[in-house]
Amino acid sequence: MAKLSVNINKIATLRNSRGGNNPDLVKVALDCERFGAEGITVHPRPDERHIRYQDVFDLKAVINTEFNIEGNCSEQKFVDLVLANKPAQVTLVPDALGQITSNHGWDTIAHKSYLQDMVATFKEAGIRVSIFVDPAVEMVEAAALTGTDRIELYTEGYAHDYFKNKEEAIRPYVAAAEAATALGLGLNAGHDLDLHNLKYFSDNIPGLLEVSIGHALISDALYLGLENTIQMYLRQLSN
């Protein structure tokens, strides 16, 4: 059964919109763990419009499950933040400055040498590394050459096409997952996975270890309650 890591960026967005500390990000993270989440994900950005750098230190001090920090390693402040906190996992995402949300994976062919250096930097600190990639076999193959431990498949394309033709939507992800397994890479996935499309994805992707879900899960929690929502997502991941 793949692990569920809850991305709490949207909780930070809500907090920051009013100032103060309501909702309390740390309390929400601990409640997510208490309700069954097997990891907490944050994606700090340079403008700190949701997760603040201090949040990462505050969360690291209390998280009992896996702590996953996502972000663009071209920002030295991000690299320093990760090395200072040493989470269980760092996920390298090629975000542009000011980007609203992640919308593509790394070109692991063009950036192979750079990614090799960054992967080595984090692995030397004892941090597991995952690289965000599109579902293309050639990108998976090049990712393996960087020394990364895992890849995270960018799943927006799957989610977008799921209701049109789910068999076709998942086809490139299966091929990418099979390539990752053959190359000895661990496999994560995330972006726009939700209660409609998660079970089919989980049931059909071989070797899936972890999914990171934030926006959909937090949105569902507005109607269904946070504890109930986390349990519903966990049931989608059960075989």
Catalytic site residues?
43, 70, 191
Please tell me the distance from the alpha carbon of residue 69 to that of residue 40, in angstroms, as a whole number: 9
Question: Which pair of structure tokens corresponds to residue 73?
Answer: 């390693």
Distance from C-alpha of 211 to C-alpha of 157, rounded to nearest angstrom: 15
Q: Residue 156 and residue 193: Cα distance in Å, rounded?
A: 8
Question: Amino acid identity, residue 238?
Answer: S
Helix (H, G, I), strand (E, B) or coil at 146: coil
Question: What is the C-alpha radius of gyration for the chain, rounded to an integer number of angstroms?
Answer: 17
**Residues 6+ away with beta carbon under 8 Å from 223:** none
42: β partners? 69
Measured at the alpha carbon of residue 82, what is the angle toward residues 101 and 69, in degrees to the nearest 5? 40
Number of H helices, E strands in the chain: 11, 8
The answer to whether the beta carbons of residues 229 and 198 sit under 8 Å apart is no
Alpha-carbon distance 98 to 217, whole Å? 23
Q: Do 180 and 140 contact (CB within 8 A), yes or no?
A: yes
H or E element in which residue 154 lies? strand 150-154
